[in-house]
Amino acid sequence: MAETAKKKKAKAARPKRVAVYTCSTCGKVTKTRSHLCSPTKAEQVYVCRYCGLSVGDPRHVCAPMVAEMKYACKNCGGITPFRGAVCQSRIIR
């Protein structure tokens, strides 16, 4: 009789978590601690798609981003290039 071989389920490949460190003195962000004067591990880092800067604040605004923004929210002051992305939009002049 033929034995049925049990196949192991392949584990899904997990993306590598890269540790990101920030300098508490100057604010520089890097993947290695050795180049910082006072390194602290960053909780969450955002990369700006307009200027490429790595920042810890999701509310980061830079000059290339501002040039593209057309609407602002009357309630919270958030800015966006899309009218439907804010609750109460008004045009920025």
Domain that holds residue 32: 18-58
User: What is the model's pTM?
Assistant: 0.41
Question: Residue 7: its pLDDT value, please?
Answer: 54
Query: Domain check: are 22 and 51 in the same one?
Result: yes
Distance CA 55, CA 29 (A): 7
In tens digits, the chain (93 residues) has pLDDT values of 555 555 555 554 444 455 678 888 887 877 788 878 888 887 777 788 888 887 777 778 788 888 888 888 898 888 888 888 888 889 987
Asked if 73 and 88 count as a contact pair (C-beta separation under 8 A), the reply is yes
What's the structural domain count of the chain? Answer: 2
Query: Residue 61's closest CA among 51, 71, 70, 73?
Result: 51
Query: Domain check: are 68 and 89 in the same one?
Result: yes
Distance CA 66, CA 80 (A): 9
Query: Domain check: are 54 and 23 in the same one?
Result: yes
